[in-house]
């Protein structure tokens, strides 16, 4: 079982991508012509992206703290439990506002599961292979997103919606069970380090951006490279969310018949908010 741990963590991150891709495409199609909550308002139809983004942003602020203190496995399990309620909420929703509210839980699920998977893979592969660890998980996650959207587009109509929600709900339940029964905690307390002088410590923080406790809060603001990365990530996610919200409605308004509507939405790519590392 120990040798299977990297594969299990990677599989759960891929499953996380599948859930996001299928659920958010289903929600986008619900407000297009012929959808369950059809609306002509672009602002109203994109509200689920707003609730998802705000929830995921807030969750990203606490998932690292939780993963360090309670463990990577706990963070992963909490994420899957939050996601398990998303599909039933959408399936039985009688109002669009309920669907929008479900994205609060989806944001928690995506943040906790994707981030915990990255933390665990970094623990397992070590600092010398951290690029490989993150690259592998991002690749698997986005392949799963693309696969889920292609499957829904191929199914089309209400059949595609039922398929997407059913699979997403099943994946979340399975993810919670695997997290509780099969995963092993990867977070190990670091060996005691020799005390460093304050001057050396300040230089170290500015050079690599690592920080702990209260010093971590101002790290991004004081380090120009980290601040630039934050701005770049914010810009990237803004563009992705804009394309997902605006282009989906533009493409589906031009031609929406049967599976063509879903296929048009798939063409927008990105997704609302990207992966857990965003």
Which CATH number fits the domain that encloses residue 63?
A: 1.20.1250.20
User: Does any domain span residue 76?
Assistant: yes
User: Does any domain span residue 272?
Assistant: no
Give the pLDDT confidence of 21-71 residue by residue, as tens digits: 888 888 877 877 777 887 767 677 778 888 888 999 899 889 999 999 999
User: Are the CB atoms for 15 and 144 separated by under 8 Å?
Assistant: yes
Mean pLDDT of 114-142: 90
User: Does any domain span residue 162?
Assistant: yes
Give the separation between CA 48 and CA 86, rounded to whole angstroms.
Answer: 12
Higher pLDDT, 95 or 273: 95
Give the pLDDT confidence of 17-26 residue by residue, as tens digits: 999 888 888 8
Residues 6+ apart with CB under 8 A from 278: 233, 236, 237
User: Does any domain span residue 63?
Assistant: yes
Q: 150 lies in which domain range?
A: 5-187+220-266
Number of domains in the chain: 1
User: Does any domain span residue 211?
Assistant: no
Give the pLDDT confidence of 214-267 residue by residue, as tens digits: 444 455 556 777 777 777 777 776 666 666 666 666 665 555 544 445 444 444
User: Are the CB atoms for 60 and 67 separated by under 8 Å?
Assistant: no
Nearest CA-CA partner of 28 in 57, 60, 52, 55: 52
Mean pLDDT of 151-175: 81
Nearest CA-CA partner of 30 in 86, 95, 88, 104: 95
Its pTM stands at: 0.77
> What pLDDT does residue 241 have?
64
3-state DSSP: the chain helix, strand, coil percent, rounded to 5? 75, 0, 25
User: Does any domain span residue 193?
Assistant: no
User: Are the CB atoms for 108 and 59 separated by under 8 Å?
Assistant: yes
pLDDT tops 90 at residue 130 = no
Give the separation between CA 251 and CA 178, rounded to whole angstroms.
Answer: 39
> What pLDDT does residue 67 have?
92
Higher pLDDT, 194 or 61: 61
User: Does any domain span residue 195?
Assistant: no
């Amino acid at each position: 079982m120990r040798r299977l741990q990297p594969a299990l963590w990677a599989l759960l991150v891929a499953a996380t991508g599948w859930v996001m891709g299928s659920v958010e495409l289903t929600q986008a199609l619900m407000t297009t012509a012929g959808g369950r909550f059809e609306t002509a308002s672009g602002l109203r139809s994109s509200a689920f992206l707003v609730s998802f983004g705000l929830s995921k942003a807030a969750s990203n602020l606490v998932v690292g703290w939780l993963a360090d203190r309670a463990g990577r496995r706990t963070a992963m399990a909490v994420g899957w439990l939050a996601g398990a309620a998303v599909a039933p909420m959408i399936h039985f929703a009688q109002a669009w506002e309920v669907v929008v509210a479900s994205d609060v839980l989806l944001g928690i699920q995506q943040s906790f599961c994707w981030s915990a998977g990255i933390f665990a893979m970094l623990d397992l592969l070590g600092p010398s292979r951290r690029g490989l660890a993150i690259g592998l998980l991002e690749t698997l996650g986005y392949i799963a997103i693309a696969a889920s959207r292609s499957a829904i587009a191929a199914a089309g109509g209400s059949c595609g919606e039922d398929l997407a929600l059913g699979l997403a709900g099943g994946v979340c339940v399975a993810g919670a069970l695997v997290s509780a029964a099969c995963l092993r905690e990867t977070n190990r307390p670091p060996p005691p380090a020799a005390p460093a002088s304050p001057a050396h410590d300040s230089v170290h923080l500015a050079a690599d951006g690592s920080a702990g406790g209260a010093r971590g809060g101002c790290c991004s603001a004081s380090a120009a490279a980290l601040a630039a990365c934050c701005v770049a990530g914010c810009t990237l996610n803004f563009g992705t969310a804009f394309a997902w919200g605006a282009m989906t409605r533009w493409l589906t308004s031009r031609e929406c018949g049967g599976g063509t509507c879903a296929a048009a939405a798939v063409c927008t790519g990105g997704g609302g908010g990207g992966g857990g590392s965003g």
